[in-house]
Amino acid sequence: MKKLDPPFQQADVSVEQRHTAYRGFLRLDKLQLKHRMFEGGWSEPFDRELLVKEQAVGVMLFDPDLDNLVMVRQFRVGMLGQQESPWPLELVAGLVDKPESLEEVAAREIYEETGLEACNLVKICQYFSSPGASTEYVTLYCSRVDSSKAGGIHGLDHEHEDIEVVVIAEAEAQEAVRIGAINNAMSVIALQWLALNKDALLDQWR
């Protein structure tokens, strides 16, 4: 599949200068760089800002017995000033900011945000969320859960988390994606994966 093979690699970029312009809840680096061009030679040096983030893990919580999903709501500053409420319906998610495996992060976040236990984790995919401006790399999983035990308010006080657990029928969640009521990338990708792979997933979990 030659068309999928990129013509350039990491060595085809030259970072001339790099420094951290801001470090707070987020880190922003300022870079001057150049790269090889498709028609040959190198580009002129140019400036870019780069949002430097840890890897992220997202987990879709699916109850195959009741055909429910367990999702969460919490405030998201990136949605300020939009028409939508800044409390979107989302997957459980967190950052890989400790010496843990991705599966350990998934299990920890499930417990912290919902009080449920991870079970039968299945890897969905990995992707760069916004490679034009950020280093964030996301790994998505699906975990089997018992939605009859889900509910309440969760999260860590020292991380200023105020998380509502929401149980929603899988068909209702898929309809929410179709009409745009669920429109954050992590949730859309996971739910579309479930729509394509539900039968295979159920066979795997039997």
Mean confidence (pLDDT) of the chain: 95
| CATH class held by domain 56-205 | alpha beta
151 pLDDT higher than 80 = yes
Catalytically active residues are 159
Q: For the full predicted model, state whether its pTM sits above 0.85.
A: yes
Full DSSP string of 149-194: G--SEE--GGGT--EEEEEEEHHHHHHHHHHTSS--HHHHHHHHHH
Give CA–CA dist 26/14, Å, rounded: 25
Confidence at residue 137, expressed as pLDDT on a 0 to 100 scale: 97
Q: Facing residues of 68 across strands?
A: 63, 169
Confidence at residue 184, expressed as pLDDT on a 0 to 100 scale: 96
| Distance separating the N- and C-terminal Cα atoms of the chain | 35
Confidence at residue 156, expressed as pLDDT on a 0 to 100 scale: 87
Question: Residue 71: how many CB atoms within 10 A of its CB?
Answer: 24
- The string of pLDDT tens digits covering residues 87-125 is 999 999 999 988 899 999 999 999 999 999 999 999 999
| Amino acid letter, 143 | S
Proportion of the chain above pLDDT 90, given as a percent: 90
Domain with CATH 3.90.79.10 in the chain: 56-205
Confidence at residue 98, expressed as pLDDT on a 0 to 100 scale: 82
Give CA–CA dist 92/98, Å, rounded: 17
Query: Please, which pLDDT band fits residue 153 given cuts at 50, 70 and 90?
Result: very high
For residues 76-86, average pLDDT: 92
Give CA–CA dist 177/187, Å, rounded: 9
Confidence at residue 1, expressed as pLDDT on a 0 to 100 scale: 61
- Residue 14's Cα: distance from chain center in Å? 29
Q: Which two tokens stand for residue 193?
A: 């994966």
